[in-house]
A = this chain, B = another copy of it.
Amino acid sequence: MKKKRTTIYDIAEKLNITASSVSRALNNSNYVNENTKQLILKTAAELNYKRNTLASNLRKGQSKTIGIIVPRINQNFFSNVIAGIEDATYEKGYNLIICQSNESQEKEIKCVNTLINQQVDCIVISISADSSDYKHLKNVLDHGIQLIQFDRVIDELETLKVINDNEQASFEAVSHLIEQGYKRIALLKGPQNLDIFKQRKVGYLAALNKYSLPVIDELIIENAWTKELGAEATRKLLSLPEPPDAIFASTSDFSALGVLEVATAMGFKVPNQLGILGYANEAFTELTSPSITTIDQFSVYMGRTVADLYFKEMENKDTLVVPKTISIKPKLIIRSSTSRKK
């Protein structure tokens, strides 16, 4: 039941002119008589004409479309970033094609290929936890497509990047814990193939170092980035002969939530006996009791930044794109879970 759509030829025929003029009028070119232009516009409206963007893009060799690849669309941080990008790109008439990699490199590669096929002008990506190499990203560049990495970036790959200063944030977070009097601070680490988690560890170590606290290996836990894994890690940590007096879930607030639940269940008083610090400022962190201290990443703003960066780079097409990194300083949000009554 496909209806035939109105094309510029239909308009041209009706007005006894050529498609060229119609095209010019619709693109508001100066090379059409003003009267003709108005007439064309009027007729286009009457016939309910809608430009075929496929044809237009094909001809022009650009799609005014930006592809986005994130591990999960329905994860707060990412959906916020996307909202930010949408906001900024919409005004400029750009479209977004969104893909989720589900944390799998295999799907990530497929997403990249789909987006290249779609002739997107730019690909914005936060790589999956599973990604070990990045031939597929090199490929993007080889196809002359702009590539912007955000948050989870591959450092060696020279592209535009928008990141959080994870090291600094982590440093401030752990410093805060120490200043609150915590001395045995455990760290829940994320997958170390992602730089963001490495950096958070560096910040943690730097803070311990600054305050001359020892690094205790048994308090550093690998890969505890879901609520369940956070809970499990906490069970072990709190059963140690010398349990920690604070846990920094550098992986996520979900992990911190797992910590909180187990700690409460095991009868540890938060924040007095145990301090808890999360990462990402998920909405729920201010609702738990006690509310959880965390780090805000300005996710929507991050999205806007990505978009603005793209547009700025596009302005000077002639010059080669110079790899550039914009680092956003996250903010420590101090709540009850680390506020010891002194």
Contact = CB atoms under 8 A, between A and B. Distances in A.
B97 A52 contact: no
A236 interface: no
A34 to B, nearest CB: 25
A41 to B, nearest CB: 15
Interface string A92-129: 01011111100000010000011011110000000000
A82 interface: yes
A226 interface: no
Interface of A: 1-3, 5, 48, 50-55, 57-58, 61, 63, 65, 72-74, 76, 79-80, 82-83, 86, 90, 93, 95-100, 107, 113-114, 116-119, 139, 142-144, 257, 282-284, 287-289, 300, 317, 320-321
Do most interface residues of chain A lie in helix, strand or loop, or is the interface mixed?
A: mixed
Contact of A83 (B100, B257, B288): B100
Contacts of A86: 73, 98-100
Contact of A76 (B52, B74, B114, B142): B74
B5 A117 contact: no
Contacts of A317: 1
B97 A144 contact: no
Nearest to A57: B54
